Amino acid sequence: MNYRAVSYLLGSLIIGASLFMATSLLWALFVDGTQTIISMAVSSVICFVVGFLLRQLGKNADMTFHAREAVAIVTLGWLSVSILGAIPFILEGVLIHPIDAFFETVSGFTTTGSTVITDLNECSKALLYWRSLTQWLGGMGIIVLFIAILPQLGIGAKHMFKSEAPGPITEGLKPKLKHTAGVLWMIYAGITGAEIIALLLAGMNLHDSVCHSLTCMATGGFSPRNESIAFYQDPVIEIIVIVFMLMAGINFSIYYLILRRRVGEAASNAELKVYLTIFATASVFIAINTFNLHDGVLTKIVKPAFQAVSMLTTTGYATEDSNLYPSFSKIIMVALMFIGGSAGSTGGGIKVSRVMIVAKAGLNHIFNSFQPYAVRVVKVGKRPIDETVVKEVLIFFSVYVFLFLLGSGAMTLIIPYSEDHIVTSFTATIACFANIGPGFGDVGATQNFAFIPGAGKVILALLMIIGRLELFTVLVFFVPAFWKK
């Protein structure tokens, strides 16, 4: 393990995070009071100093590193920024207990959106902005941003990109990975800016527009309002948010193809078609099942569609209390939680492409049971998928289900008993593991995670990171051989 290189790059990453944190001072200076200015400034300085010291420890290090160092940088990077990013919550007195502050920040950077803050009105505008910014940075990936701006990574950048990028098939958009990372972030920032303008034109104020756009494109779901999107009771705002949530759940390489005027290639993408079909089908079924719960034709269409896309993209925004929905709609929404967005999107969950591969591999196995000599290849669209990829997906799927069941079992022991104990325990686990945010029962859209004991919050925070980094990047840390020469 090249510890000096890991230290140097971790320091660089933390310094970058401190500079983003410092942008919160703009809100503090013009909107908030002296206490917020001090807390945000001190937090940024602490973060910068820690990063500077780590860089000094790794000064003049050999920057040649491979998969082991890349995995260490990615995992330790996410842990480090989550710990240091919690400082503003503590200094402002919003979340005094370090575990609560850590949970909130992990929920931010992993774009989960589960919260332990019981009243957002107690937060300053600067803190709410930082809370949203953590999701935006985590959405496209702080490591991907790191790759785009740091020149000396060399071959190690590929390993770091693979360790963080979501989905089973990661395709470069440009020959050089640094350019790929830069293109992804430019597209990401451009769509975020478009949503800010759209929400401003719809009547939302500047602070709320910025915060919601940052968390919507990250499919994170943090809102500066206790009621989330339900605060506005505006169908125009809800439709705008539906559109951008849907966009955030699409593989970002699709937008690159569109920019290159390869619209036909983008439109024929198999995963995109399945993703949109799942959204449309779920919206229709939920709309039919909740028909009597809503008044007006527009509301009967918009509310179910909002819930469907919010769960499918793992954003977790709310326009109403989904606990009041019929059981059939809840089952659909839980299924959407597991599926998640497209590979290469900011969405969480298993990913649509993996679900497609598992389904087609299962069908092939069924056919082979009565046609044992037939050779069937798993395809996504017209593209054959290598057997190695299929095997990796099936292993991923199995480990994913195992960790979900393990986490759910732990939560049933830790979470205080209530009438909805099983529902709360299971959906709290998948809500954090799939990076969704709200679940059902006592962790529903109108509730929060504050009541969960500290041990439960630590387990859920770990599940958030494991889910965001696609399991194995974190799990390898628990293998003793990983640390040996």
pLDDT tens digits, residue range 26-50?
A: 999 988 888 999 999 999 999 999 9
What predicted TM-score, i.e. pTM, was given to this entire model? 0.92
Is the alpha carbon torsion for 20, 55, 112, 173 positive or negative?
positive
The tokens for 112 are 């989960």
Q: What confidence score (pLDDT) does residue 176 get?
A: 62
CA–CA dist 431, 310 (Å, integer): 12
Contact 452, 428 (CB under 8 A): yes
Contact 188, 244 (CB under 8 A): no
Q: What confidence score (pLDDT) does residue 227 get?
A: 94
DSSP-assigned states of every residue in 346-401: S--SS-HHHHHHHHHHHHHHHHHHH-TT-----EETTEEPPHHHHHHHHHHHHHHH
Q: What confidence score (pLDDT) does residue 21 get?
A: 96
User: 302: which residues sit within 8 A by CB, 6+ positions away?
Assistant: 235, 238, 239, 242, 319
Which helix (DSSP H) or strand (DSSP E) does residue 35 occupy? helix 34-57
Q: What confidence score (pLDDT) does residue 202 get?
A: 97
Q: What confidence score (pLDDT) does residue 160 get?
A: 58
Q: CA of 166: how far to CAs of 172, 251, 350, 351, 353, in Å?
A: 13, 10, 9, 8, 11
Q: Which residues of the chain have pLDDT under 50?
A: 170, 172
Q: What confidence score (pLDDT) does residue 308 get?
A: 96
Q: What confidence score (pLDDT) does residue 473 get?
A: 82
The tokens for 238 are 């809800």
